Amino acid sequence: MDSTNPNSILAEYTKVFGQFKLPGVDVGKILESRRKDIEALAEANTAAFVGVQSLARKQAEIMRAMFTELQSFGARLAASASQPANAGEVVQQALHKALADMQELADTAVRAQSDSLAVVTKRVAEHIEELKTLLQPKK
């Protein structure tokens, strides 16, 4: 069994549950519910992966910008014979920028986690409704 392929996982479930014939139990509905669970997990993993990629891209952007700024500051410092009068201001601006960038990274991480959690939460709610339907006495 390929443990990363949702179709393979569902095929394994189908094989196992297909062996059992229980009175009053709709194996098809159980399998359909498991299929939806597997799809929801795959969607949550995709959302998490997209979030991690976004975070990595943002970190790379921040690093590029920081190195460009450092290079520019170094060039300005080398061009002037003495210590620039506004060195403290440049350092303060760099610190403010770094804090803003850190906040943006944190926001990106929270957004990625929220997207993944929303997928799982939605599926849990659906699963509860399916269980309610399955457990109702037949009329």
Rounded to the nearest integer, the mean pLDDT of the chain is: 77
pLDDT digits (tens, 9 = 90+) for 15-53: 776 676 666 667 677 777 777 888 888 888 888 888 888
CA distance 112 to 52: 7
Reading the block at residue 48, the tokens are 């998490």
pLDDT digits (tens, 9 = 90+) for 62-108: 888 877 887 887 777 777 766 656 667 777 777 788 788 888 888 88
- The residue ranges of every structural domain in the chain are 6-135
pTM of the entire structure?
0.55
Q: Residue holding tokens 């350092």?
A: 91
